[in-house]
Amino acid sequence: MSIARDERAGLAADLSRLGPDAPTLCEGWTARDLLTHMLLRENDPLAIPGMAVSIFDVVTHARAEKMEASGSFEDLVARFAHGPGRFSVFRIPGLDAAANSLEYFIHHEDLLRAQPGWQPRHLGQRVELRLAEIIRKYGRALTRRSPVGVRVEMTGLADPVTLHPGNRIVTIVGKPSEILLLLTGRLSVAQVDVLGEPQTITTFMRSDHSL
């Protein structure tokens, strides 16, 4: 199974269903903005620097406007669903799965959980286990800015995993999917328990959770 492939397909279907003006959890972004971001990320190397470095924001904005003008919303959804373009680095075997599994899972939830009356998806054990692997692989990077130690106890898995050492520590308990949402800053929607001393929890929750 490929989380990146499945999440791409599901996200494309939900973008089409909800339409370009649907809200997302990404502040200031509609579904159209989210879609443009994903298309630029995997197809336009000139826009990539501006996604992380503010000095390139003008270039990125111009590339985004060009992308949006290249077709209707449905055209762009179809392009995203089709996969990386011919000259995209994500066409390298294995890179799509390695780089996009977390990206597309999180952005799919950004879309779904911003809608009124949302309910968490039932992802199934196989998907949760794959997401647990992502936590083990990238958890240290995801918690690198935490001023306190971070440990996770993932539902269905026996042993806690320490992601970030520290004298003071919080323990995050929940499904791997929900823990990933918390670790990537989706604090208001992640269905987890955060255990520890109250001040330590507050320090962790107020820290920088950006990717």
pLDDT of residue 191: 98
pLDDT of residue 194: 98
**Closest residue by Cα to residue 193 from 173, 207, 178:** 173
CA distance 137 to 112: 25
The answer to whether the beta carbons of residues 20 and 30 sit under 8 Å apart is yes
CA 170 to chain CA centroid, nearest Å: 22
The answer to whether the beta carbons of residues 49 and 41 sit under 8 Å apart is no
Per-residue pLDDT of the chain (211 residues; tens, 9 = 90+): 689 999 999 999 999 999 999 999 999 899 999 998 888 888 765 444 334 434 445 445 555 566 666 678 999 999 999 988 777 777 787 878 888 999 999 999 999 999 999 999 999 999 999 999 999 999 999 999 999 999 999 998 878 999 999 999 999 999 999 999 999 999 999 999 999 999 999 999 999 887 6
Amino acid at 118: W
CA distance 130 to 177: 9
Q: In terms of residues, how long is the chain? A: 211
pLDDT of residue 54: 43
CA distance 63 to 160: 44
The answer to whether the beta carbons of residues 85 and 92 sit under 8 Å apart is no
Coil, strand or helix: which one is 147? coil
**Closest residue by Cα to residue 11 from 84, 125, 107, 96:** 107
The answer to whether the beta carbons of residues 135 and 161 sit under 8 Å apart is yes
